[in-house]
Amino acid sequence: MILDPDGFIGTLLAIEGIRDARAVLNGPTGCRGYPAYFSDRHYPREDSLNRGSFEELFFFGQPRIPCTYLDSDDYILGSTEKLREILPLIAKKDSAFLAIVNSPGASLIGDNLNRFLSEAHLDHICMAFEGAAYSRPFPEGFDEAIAAVLKWLRLNRLPRVKNRVNLLGFSMIQKHWQGNIAELRHLCEMMGLSVVSVPGAGSSVSEIRESTTAICNIVIFPEYCQKTAAFYKAEFSIPAVISPDGAPVGFTATETWIWAVAEATGCDPAPALAEIRRQRKHACHQIARFHHEAGYPKGTTFAIRADSSFVLPITTWLYEYLGMIPVSVVCMAGVDEAMTGCLSDFLAANGLFEASGADPAEVKPDFYFGDDLTGMDLVLSGRCREPVGLFNRTTGELEFVQKTFLGGTGTLWILERIFRAVRRFPE
């Protein structure tokens, strides 16, 4: 069973991922529930606890993604009257930027949203998505939405600064996304670089406008930003930097990422590399001290289903560093061809090609890296021992400490999860 949200949800969450932007859904209330709750749960705003300020029409007591609640008459007569009523109210909510997004059904009505915004004199703060990436992969919808927003904002044409960069490819759909960004920002700062913006993942409209001062865009997850990176390149001549090993997951891939960033920016990688060496040494000492007491993960099996730029580095790292065996390797829809090519070569070179596309329910891995719901199902049915969630899908976990999967700190956290689990495994 595939539980992935589609490109329509990706469009909404891309807008809601901008700190002072607001998505407005032109559609029935049923299309609003999941993305409205999700965005408030995984990227709450300062006013999210003040429910009393969202009791008026269109918000229905929820602070995120107000909607026009279209009914049967609106599908015949059009949604203009409700838009004429809703937008002035929402424009007062102190948002720097609004975006109307048609639901799949509303896109069939044929209302000219751009003409309506112009006539209502709201086209200076509001743009329209008359269609979205319906039924296409989430990353495609996210990427297309961010690229469209950047084009609509008419970004400032400012001089580029040699020590400034943007981080591309982050979304609130990714688990620990804020901790991941903080970890890579820290590594960039150790190299003397300043992160200007992370479009769609916590940056404000003003920070996004200033993103054109960056000397380059550092692409972390290319599946989520191919069109975004192409826009920056075509319009502002800002090149994109992509590490050949994929996202910085594991010590080796993180070092490769640091070298790629240093080569593109001319910065000194030594301080960041020294930090990774320190964390490598710490991991080695911890493993040497405790693995005789409670076993070692060498030979344990794992399954993974994630974005291709994450699957590649974690698969190679778990296999080469810990001796864990991949028995099910699946890349989610919307892959990066370069990453999947490297992954296929790695699996073939190590005699692991049977893992490609295998069903985790049949191979029964010790570890499952993927979405929480699938992991929970595998554990409860006795077909997996330990799930490791990679995406924000469920709301059962309450976390007070920021975590990360990326960089040296993320590598240590993954090691901690694995070794703690192995100690619980029966002999």
Residue 375 burial (C-beta neighbours within 10 Å; 0-12, 13-18, 19+): buried
Residue 232: closest CA among 309, 167, 149, 150: 150
Contact of 205 with 99, CB cutoff 8 Å:
no
CA angle (356 as vertex; 352, 359 as ends), nearest 5: 115
pLDDT tens-digit series, residues 175-198: 999 999 999 999 999 999 999 999
pLDDT of 156 strictly over 60: yes
First to last CA, the chain: 32
User: Tell me, what's the pLDDT at 1?
Assistant: 58
Residues 313 and 219: their CA atoms lie apart, in Å, by 15
Q: How confident is the model at residue 60 (pLDDT cuts 50, 70, 90)?
A: confident
User: Tell me, what's the pLDDT at 76?
Assistant: 80
CB atoms < 10 A from the CB of 109, how many? 19
Q: How confident is the model at residue 254 (pLDDT cuts 50, 70, 90)?
A: very high
Residues 397 and 408: their CA atoms lie apart, in Å, by 24
Residues 67 and 70: their CA atoms lie apart, in Å, by 8
User: Tell me, what's the pLDDT at 143?
Assistant: 98
DSSP string, 349-410: HTT-GGGBT--HHHH--SEEEE-HHHHHHHHHTTS-SEEEE-B---------S---SSHHHH
Q: How confident is the model at residue 77 (pLDDT cuts 50, 70, 90)?
A: confident
Please compute the mean of the pLDDT values over residues 19-36 and round it to a whole number: 91
User: Tell me, what's the pLDDT at 142?
Assistant: 98
User: Tell me, what's the pLDDT at 92?
Assistant: 78
Quick one: DSSP state of residue 332? P
Share of the chain above pLDDT 90, in %: 73
pLDDT of 117 strictly over 80: yes
CATH number of 7-136: 3.40.50.1980
CATH 3.40.50.1980 boundaries in the chain: 7-136, 161-267, 274-424
DSSP 3-state of 45: coil
The three-state (H, E, C) secondary structure of 47-83, written as one string: CCCCHHHHCCCCCCCCCCCCECCCCHHHHHHCCHHHH
DSSP string, 260-311: HHHHHH----HHHHHHHHHHHHHHHHHHHHHHHHH---TT-EEEEEE-HHHH
Residue 171, both tokens: 């979304």
Phi, psi of 104 (to 5 degrees): -55, -40
The number of CA neighbours under 13 Å toward the Cβ of 212 is 18
Query: Per CATH, which fold does 161-267 belong to?
Result: Rossmann fold (3.40.50)
pLDDT of 417 strictly over 70: yes
Residues 14 and 292: their CA atoms lie apart, in Å, by 46
Domain 274-424 bears CATH identifier 3.40.50.1980: yes
Contact of 117 with 90, CB cutoff 8 Å:
no
Q: How confident is the model at residue 395 (pLDDT cuts 50, 70, 90)?
A: low
Share of the chain above pLDDT 70, in %: 95
User: Tell me, what's the pLDDT at 179?
Assistant: 97
User: Tell me, what's the pLDDT at 79?
Assistant: 84
pLDDT tens-digit series, residues 337-361: 999 999 999 999 999 999 999 999 9
CA angle (253 as vertex; 251, 256 as ends), nearest 5: 110
Q: State the average pLDDT for the chain.
A: 92
Contact of 87 with 102, CB cutoff 8 Å:
no
User: Tell me, what's the pLDDT at 166?
Assistant: 98
- Strand spans (E) along 182-271: 194-197, 214-219, 240-242
